[in-house]
Structure 1
Amino acid sequence: MTQFRYIDSHVNLHAPQFAEDQAEVIDRARAAGVDLMVNICDRVSNFDAVYKFAEDHADIWATVGTHPHESRENPDLTTADLLALAERPKVVGIGECGLDFHYDYSPREVQAQVFKAHIDAARQSGLPLVVHTREADDWMAQILSEAHQAGPFKLLLHCYTSGAELAKTCAEMGAWFSVSGIATFKAAEDVRAVIRDMPADRIIIETDCPYLAPIPMRGRRNEPAFVPHVYDKLGEIRGWTLDEVRARTHEAFFKLFDRIAI
């Protein structure tokens, strides 16, 4: 396997927070050793802007999907809509999709309906499902369990901060988990406790930039260049050296995002 220094599995380079200095942000990431990034689609209507980064940069890939906050924008989104866009050669995942009952920016039933379309697209395409879940553990467990019984699909719980029980349920389905800067927050011991029990061969790393900057950058706009801090924290939590963190999380990343040719 090609040796990668750092991989950021979840960036939002098209976000308005980067509008003034996108090129500089990418340059800083590379200078910090970030050799690969996945730019995550927040809504299907924004897909062209998301995908352009993948078209323009050999080290950036993309997903297609609609975040639960935005599901009200197209409640009739179909699996076919997602599959058509997923045919683009540098699309490597379906999502970010899921359920968010903290803000309820979209009606819960609409979130669930749109989420199920994404699950079907992941199953049919073979691409991993990138899932956002917040304060929706019961609904999420039920939807994923029923869907998994209907046929397997690859599953990633991104930036996981939900409960241990949902984590266990998803791990039994073969899910991957990604760790973000939240793991560094002083008040996030409950998150670290779940990270200690995650399957060692199914953990990957992200920034979720421009959000969730890790300590010691907390309070600033997050960037992919800050992802080494998450690597270091994961090593501390799991008792792994940096070389072990790289070996384990990079192998897990490429097993999950297996459309990426290396």
Structure 2
Amino acid sequence: MFIDSHCHLDFPEFTNRLPEVLALMEKQLVTKALCISVDMPDFPKVLALAHEYPHLFATVGVHPDYEDTPEPSFEWLVEQSKDPKVIGIGETGLDYYRMAHKPYEELEWQRDRFRTHIEASKVTNKPLIIHTRQSSDDTIAILKESGQHQVKGVMHCFTENKEVAKQALDLGFYISFSGIVTFKNALEIKETCKYVPFDRILIETDSPYLAPVPHRGKTNEPGFVSFVASYISQLKESNVEEVGRITSNNFYQLFNVSP
């Protein structure tokens, strides 16, 4: 019924809890989850999870604010993406929030890394999972300059305004909403969620972070994506079953995965 389109089950928070986490997924009718790669050293763990469990999938990529980590080459990304359980490239993008103390020019390595992922997406025809934080202008500009009409993907854990959503939608991207949309003070995100067409929405947890209400402050996990779906159903004046069906179909279409 539901699909968690972005989680990090290889993170330490789940090391001794995976059977419990998978059991809650089943109980909450979360049928699939996409495990997201954030660096090269830990990619084998992400891939191993996808191979061990038929309902888990993987991506390959290096997070934009991982500075002191091996740099992924275009060749490495393309080679790893040949595995059939790897269905996306990323997470990639730009994050200026944690690097706000540095001059703009010193963040060119982030922009270069982003372009490398875009080129890998173009060659493999696998969608980009994009992280953007206080960097939406550059994120959109680089997508237009490097991959317009040649790449597809999703803006994950979306926290921007409707104008940025419109630009992403115009590029053919999907918009994914996390537990943040359930937070009381996330008024702009709620309005953006109302604005984004149903056929371009995905849902996610970004677990172990950002647990939705009523679990805010706890360790997040894929089973909690059902609460994201339930809240979106209220915003969209729909029902939770419809949100589950539509967002799952969107996931299948974007990532070329068979139901």
Q: TM-score of the superposition, structure 1-length normalised?
A: 0.93
Q: Kindly report which structure 2 residues correspond to 1:26-105, keeping only aligned pairs within 5 A, or say none.
A: 26-75=22-71, 77-104=72-99
For the residues of structure 2 that align with 1:148 and 1:120, how far apart are their CA atoms? 8
The answer as to whether partners of 1:63 and 1:91 remain within 8 angstroms in 2 is yes
1:72 positional shift: 4.2
1:200 positional shift: 2.0
For the residues of structure 1 that align with 2:22 and 2:110, how far apart are their CA atoms? 32
Q: Kindly report which structure 2 residues correspond to 1:89-238, keeping only aligned pairs within 5 A, or say none.
A: 89-104=84-99, 108-149=107-148, 151-238=149-236
The answer as to whether partners of 1:99 and 1:108 remain within 8 angstroms in 2 is no
What letter is aligned with 1:116? R
For the residues of structure 2 that align with 1:89 and 1:173, how far apart are their CA atoms? 26
For the residues of structure 2 that align with 1:202 and 1:208, how far apart are their CA atoms? 18
Q: Which runs of 5+ in 1 are unaligned?
A: none
The answer as to whether partners of 1:72 and 1:110 remain within 8 angstroms in 2 is no
Alignment correspondent of 2:20: 24
Secondary structure of residue in 1 paired with 2:116: helix
1:27 positional shift: 1.8
For the residues of structure 2 that align with 1:247 and 1:28, how far apart are their CA atoms? 19
The answer as to whether partners of 1:99 and 1:111 remain within 8 angstroms in 2 is yes
Q: TM-score of the superposition, structure 2-length normalised?
A: 0.94
1:199 positional shift: 2.5
For the residues of structure 2 that align with 1:157 and 1:103, how far apart are their CA atoms? 19
For the residues of structure 1 that align with 2:249 and 2:67, how far apart are their CA atoms? 32
Paired residue total: 255
1:54-89 CA-to-partner distances (Å, cap 9, x unmatched) read 1100110100000112154234x2211100000111
The answer as to whether partners of 1:148 and 1:173 remain within 8 angstroms in 2 is no
The answer as to whether partners of 2:122 and 2:147 remain within 8 angstroms in 1 is no
1:243 positional shift: 2.4
1:82-133 CA-to-partner distances (Å, cap 9, x unmatched) read 0000011100000011111110299521111111110111111111100000
Q: Which runs of 5+ in 2 are unaligned?
A: none
The answer as to whether partners of 2:2 and 2:245 remain within 8 angstroms in 1 is no
For the residues of structure 2 that align with 1:183 and 1:193, how far apart are their CA atoms? 9
The answer as to whether partners of 1:63 and 1:94 remain within 8 angstroms in 2 is yes
For the residues of structure 2 that align with 1:55 and 1:152, how far apart are their CA atoms? 29
1:196 positional shift: 1.2
Residue identity over aligned pairs, in percent, reads: 36
1:225 positional shift: 1.4
1:155 positional shift: 1.8
1:250 positional shift: 1.4
RMSD: 1.5
